[in-house]
Structure 1
Amino acid sequence: MSYEEKGTWVYLVVSVAAYGVYLSLVIPRLAEGGPVGDVDYVAPMLWTIGGAIVASIVGRILVEIVFPSESTKGDVRDREIDRLGTRVGSSFIVIGALGALVLSMLEADWFWIANVIYLGFLLGAVLESITRLFAYRRGVPTW
């Protein structure tokens, strides 16, 4: 497994775990009832995003300590896979941003706007990672 592929696995696992932690913190607050605008989501969102960044860095270091790579330099194939994954992931970030734009035009609560953006980032990260892992295993498609 290449250095970049290991990093992709770390990114995928940390992204899903961080969003799971965020949901586990916010959903009980929603279940309490009351207006959605009163739900404290900002601090959990910021902490899980910050924690995910730190966890990705630490995870990448730990993976390299336990399973060292022969080289950390990417080749042409790594760059093509990176480009493909980035295109797929970016499209879902744009979809999330468009969803947030529509919600803001409908004057939805900030809670929903922020959560649509966060979900767009999650979907972008997950689908980017899955695309990259698929390309590492099956090759880059030649459309």
Structure 2
Amino acid sequence: MSSEEKRSWIYAVVGAGVATVYFVTVLSQVPGTDVARIAYVRPMLIAIGAGIGLGIVASIAAAIASPREAGRTDERDRQIHRLGEYVGFYVMSIAAIAPLALAMAEAAHFWIANTLYLAFVLATVAASITKIVLYRRGF
């Protein structure tokens, strides 16, 4: 497994895992509560920071575990990365319609912020999964 494929696995697992913990924690407060009273900003910032930090630490750990492969890329890796990022861009572009619509409908900031965070998570996971599929099935 190349270092780039390992990094894609890391980002898929970390992105989905951290977002799941965040959404379970915050959205479990929604039933029976006015969303304007839910403190979501700090947990969201912690989730974003944890996602970035865990991704960096896990990538460094993977590079230390297999130093020969670390940083070595070829044309195939670059093409897979580019295609994965294109998929992530399109997912983000489509998913960003929901928070935009919520803002136009003057929904609560809670819903706008959480749908925007979800859009970022979906884009990251979609890009990572696309890369993994391309590595596994060939490009």
Same topology, TM > 0.5: yes
Question: Are 2:15 and 1:15 aligned?
Answer: yes
Question: Are 2:134 and 1:135 aligned?
Answer: yes
1:121 alignment counterpart: 120
How far apart are the structure 2 equivalents of 1:28 and 1:34?
10
Unpaired runs of 5+ in structure 1?
A: none
Q: Is the 8 A contact 1:2 1:69 kept in 2?
A: no
How far apart are the structure 2 equivalents of 1:79 and 1:58?
22
What pairs with 1:77-96 in structure 2 (closer than 5 Å)?
Answer: 77-96=76-95
Shift of 1:71: 4.6
Q: Secondary structure at the match of 1:30?
A: coil
The residue type equivalent to 2:96 in the other structure is A
**How many percent of aligned residue pairs carry the same amino acid?**
45
The alignment yields a C-alpha RMSD, in angstroms, of 1.3
How many residue pairs get matched? Answer: 139
Q: Secondary structure at the match of 2:86?
A: helix
1:62 alignment counterpart: 61
The residue type equivalent to 1:136 in the other structure is Y
How far apart are the structure 1 equivalents of 2:134 and 2:125?
14
For residues 56-87 of structure 1, the C-alpha deviation after alignment (integer angstroms, 9 at most, x for no partner) is 01111112223444351211101110111011
4+ residue segments displaced more than 3 Å: none
Q: TM-score, normalised by structure 1?
A: 0.90
Q: Report the CA distance shift for 1:75/1:10 in structure 2 as closer, same or farther (over 3 A).
A: same
The residue type equivalent to 1:24 in the other structure is V
For residues 13-40 of structure 1, the C-alpha deviation after alignment (integer angstroms, 9 at most, x for no partner) is 1001110120232023223x22111111
2:5 alignment counterpart: 5
